[in-house]
Structure 1
């Protein structure tokens, strides 16, 4: 591993993170140097209650390290997490769905992260150039005569590009992107509009935006006749609840219905708790024994939400 001196901004971020996290958060560096930046150049590794943020590519070590630490800090501050508690029984399909959902979630998180990085001078014109190179290292220009298997990846990558530049790429970059990606660029602008309709400064606002983005993404997939994410069912989004909502009976806040997918923990058919307001998966439970099902669901619906979440070990954030 490479020994690098991180900037004071990264040290401050680490201090803020360690003041919240019960274990120890450290940053380590690899020795790759691709000549561009992408958000897959760092990862969080957990061991013995500690977290190592490993930056595998050191093209822009302070940018990449700060970006990954900020992702961790958002979660520690109560911003909602995604979990994947269902399987289609097709491992390859599961991986694709999880990757797409994560990209959409991250695009919303990046609104906060990029803003913070810019405020702390962790993004300058050089980083912008490296990021733009990273886009072209990820996706190829469209073929005007036919769609290919890269359309979904183009959409996700260009949506994040809009977030990174806060919607303003500058004339030269904009002209290149419009020429190279006319179809996916138009679609990315629609998703970006969903992300920026309302501020995402609070956990509740971030959750609301992610849920809307799942639906907007599927609308685009329908337009392109491509497979849907079904994020409202496949992805469990952490709830953000007021004190009053925590005291409500489950039946007042959620509908529980049977899913065709399988619950991952006990590998049995799954029931999903859908938020009544936005129809988003909020929790997953394995099917009860057939003879107990009526009493099981009667009891479940009558519980206070906070008691059910405690029983299921489902984390949530208080508004």
Structure 2
């Protein structure tokens, strides 16, 4: 059996990533071969300051490895990341919410990643076929008589399919998905319209699109009478700030609200800093001692934004 190998484009991409990362980034290959590609076929493992990208399924090792390395490269280039600093105190629910938020975030990131892969000839007709097979290895066709527990997963998977193909499917593929997924395909097109509405070329544009997608996803869940993500509260989205915004007082850029959820680090009541413009969670604070709360919030609102983020050890991207 021929050993799987990575092509020169991936080797070059790895070199570019290592030039930005303080540790060492390597790629290792497994031996599974499913006959389709999905984005869960590679993982990042961090140890002693180094990152190993492990490609467990080598159906298309160069495609899969490059995809995962490009996710890492976006982080190193300052594109905004998500963190999860709140808990519902229900571990299973937390995991579900984090998984959904990650899929929505990734769908937006994939606009940049897929374009980069296509520019470097890492996606061709064969990869497109393998990706389409991966769709059917992830979700089953809809039951026309009833909605099932897979509706949310169908919506997320089909939205990502639209990103992968840039909204343009061949006649045969389009006929198949519209026949197999009539409800979720229509809903996925609405989410894709949000993603494709404006170019995603900068950290600010990416953050703006992710925030809009959280809201559009909840609108769809509401229409289907399914549980909401509440991504604007549950997910902390890294801020993208201009020089001027960094110098503003906190009160000028954020409103701070008490949340019903719990702050994860200290397991206490949480306060959320919501961006005034888009109402998205930008930072999370544990509740101060009751006797100190007035002074705490007075000081907090009067700080400049850059100093607050330094105190919180909260990274942000400069716009």
Following superposition of structure 1 onto structure 2, how do residues 305-316 of structure 1 map, counting pairs within 5 Å? 305-316=305-316
Tell me the TM-score normalised to structure 1 length.
Answer: 0.99
User: Does structure 1 conserve the Cα–Cα contact (< 8 Å) formed by 2:5 and 2:62?
Assistant: no
Give unmatched runs, 5+ long, in structure 1. Answer: none
Give the distance between the partners of 1:145 and 1:257, measured in 2 at CA.
Answer: 43
Aligned-pair CA distance for 1:169: 1.0
Following superposition of structure 1 onto structure 2, how do residues 276-315 of structure 1 map, counting pairs within 5 Å? 276-315=276-315
User: Does structure 1 conserve the Cα–Cα contact (< 8 Å) formed by 2:218 and 2:230?
Assistant: yes
Q: Which residue of 2 aligns with 1:251?
A: 251
Following superposition of structure 1 onto structure 2, how do residues 1-319 of structure 1 map, counting pairs within 5 Å? 4-319=4-319
Give the distance between the partners of 1:107 and 1:278, measured in 2 at CA.
Answer: 20
Aligned-pair CA distance for 1:6: 1.2
Give the distance between the partners of 1:266 and 1:4, measured in 2 at CA.
Answer: 46
RMSD between superposed Cα atoms in Å: 0.8
Give the distance between the partners of 1:105 and 1:67, measured in 2 at CA.
Answer: 15
Give the distance between the partners of 1:5 and 1:114, measured in 2 at CA.
Answer: 21
User: Does structure 2 conserve the Cα–Cα contact (< 8 Å) formed by 1:273 and 1:284?
Assistant: yes
- Cα deviation digits, residues 202-241 of structure 1 (max 9, x gap): 0000000000000000000000000000000000000000
Aligned-pair CA distance for 1:5: 2.7
* Secondary structure, counterpart of 1:19 in structure 2: helix
Give the distance between the partners of 1:274 and 1:215, measured in 2 at CA.
Answer: 15
User: Does structure 2 conserve the Cα–Cα contact (< 8 Å) formed by 1:3 and 1:29?
Assistant: no
Give the distance between the partners of 1:56 and 1:255, measured in 2 at CA.
Answer: 44
Give unmatched runs, 5+ long, in structure 2. Answer: none
Give the distance between the partners of 1:12 and 1:303, measured in 2 at CA.
Answer: 44
Aligned-pair CA distance for 1:4: 3.9
User: Does structure 2 conserve the Cα–Cα contact (< 8 Å) formed by 1:63 and 1:123?
Assistant: yes
Runs of at least 4 residues off by over 3 Å: none
- Cα deviation digits, residues 43-72 of structure 1 (max 9, x gap): 110000000001010000000000000000
- Cα deviation digits, residues 137-191 of structure 1 (max 9, x gap): 0000000000000000000000000000000111000000000000000000000
Give the distance between the partners of 1:168 and 1:198, measured in 2 at CA.
Answer: 17
- Cα deviation digits, residues 260-303 of structure 1 (max 9, x gap): 00000000010000000000000001000000000000000000
User: Does structure 1 conserve the Cα–Cα contact (< 8 Å) formed by 2:5 and 2:61?
Assistant: no
- Cα deviation digits, residues 60-119 of structure 1 (max 9, x gap): 000000000000000000000000000000000000000000000000000000001001
Give the distance between the partners of 1:30 and 1:313, measured in 2 at CA.
Answer: 37
Tell me the TM-score normalised to structure 2 length.
Answer: 0.99
Give the distance between the partners of 1:64 and 1:135, measured in 2 at CA.
Answer: 15
User: Does structure 1 conserve the Cα–Cα contact (< 8 Å) formed by 2:258 and 2:271?
Assistant: yes
* Secondary structure, counterpart of 2:130 in structure 1: helix
Give the distance between the partners of 1:31 and 1:261, measured in 2 at CA.
Answer: 42
Aligned-pair CA distance for 1:3: 6.0
